[in-house]
Structures are given as structure tokens and as C-alpha cells.
Structure 1
Amino acid sequence: MAPTLEEAMKRLDMALGLLEASVSRRLEAEKRRGGLETELQLMQDDRARLAVELDGALTRLHRFEAAADDVGRRVRQAIGAVQTVLAQAGQLEPEEG
């Protein structure tokens, strides 16, 4: 039973259709992979930028903490000085501590 030319053409047409579908799937997969690589690069860039911003924020935080500690120390000294002056004026018993 020899295949006819028409049957051979149909098989060839089906094979070409499968090949085209396969190529389309492959191209789409490559496009998605390229998109994922681009997205990954953007995320890495964002991570690096955020790390730099975090370092800057931590540096500022440490400076603010040091300034707050200094202000607290000065306020305690001022309170102590005021209490000493009032105690010397006889208006306040000095606190122990």
C-alpha cells in the first residue's frame, strides 16, 4: 500500500506545523528567559542601591544616637547644676544619687 502524493503532502504539512509550533514555543521560552534575566538584573541593582541607602541611614542613626546621648548628658548636668544652686540657696534638699 504505497502512500499517495496527497497523503505525503498532508504528512509533510503536519510535520511543518509541528515544527513551527516547536519553534514558536522555543522562541517564547527564550523571550521569557531573557525577561527573567532582565528582571533579575533590575532586582540586583535595586538591592545594591538599597544596601547603600541602608548604610547611609545607619550612619545617620548612629550620629543621632550619639547626639541624643550628648544632649541627655548635658540636660542631666544642667539639672544637677540647678539643683545645686537651689540647695545652696536653701530652697531644695540636694538629691542623693
Structure 2
Amino acid sequence: MSETIDDALRRLETVLSRLEGAVAQRFEAERDPSDLETELAVMSEDRARLAAELDAASARLVEVEATSADVGQRLGRAIAAVEGVLAPARGSR
């Protein structure tokens, strides 16, 4: 008799699992289309915002690279000037 009860419980668990799966599938199928439209609109807004941020970051990178090149050139001229001042002093030793 215990085996009969165990079998019945197993079958009940199987049926309940299948029922839960069917209910979940039904809820997914009946999902409100406006929810999907809202989600799509939010994703589109996020994409536009991220594209604008990327453009701004790219423009800033171009500015930083130009400034870096300018600083490098100035530093090179300063080093050459210091070496020019120090060269005669080294030769007189």
C-alpha cells in the first residue's frame, strides 16, 4: 500500500510540475504587448543616450590627444633649451 501512495505522489508531483510549466507558458504568451513596447522604447532611449555619451567621449579623446601632442612638443623644446644652456657650462669644466 505504501508503494501505491508513493506512486500516486510521484504522479501528482509530475502532473503539478507540468501544470506549473503550462501556467508559466500561458502567462508568457499573454504578456501585454504594451509592456514589450515600453521595454523597446526604454532600450531605444538607452541606446541613444549611450551613443551621445560615446560621441562626447570620442570628441574629448581627440582634444586630449591634441593637447598631449602639444605638451610633448613644448616639453621637447624646453629640454632642448635646457640642454643648450647646460652645454656651454659642461664644456668649460
Measured against the shorter chain, the TM-score band is: 0.5 to 0.7
Pick the structure with greater CA Rg: 1
- Matched with 2:42 is 35
* Runs ≥4 residues deviating over 6 A: none
- Matched with 1:65 is 72
Find the aligned partners of 2:53 and 2:88 in 1 and give their Cα distance.
52
Number of residue pairs matched by the alignment: 66
Q: Which has the higher helix share?
A: 2
- Matched with 1:8 is none
The Cα shift of 1:42 comes to: 0.2
Structure 1 spans left out of the alignment, 5+ residues: 1-17, 93-97
Output the TM-score relative to the length of structure 2: 0.65
| Structure 1 segment 1-97 matched on structure 2, within 5 A | 22=30, 25-84=32-91, 87=92, 92=93
Structure 2 spans left out of the alignment, 5+ residues: 1-25
RMSD after superposition: 1.7
Output the TM-score relative to the length of structure 1: 0.62
- 1:17-55 deviation per Cα after TM superposition (whole angstroms, max 9, x unaligned): x8xx83x52111110010000000000000001111110
The Cα shift of 1:81 comes to: 1.9
**Higher relative contact order structure (alpha carbons within 8 Å, sequence separation ≥ 6):** 1
The Cα shift of 1:82 comes to: 1.7
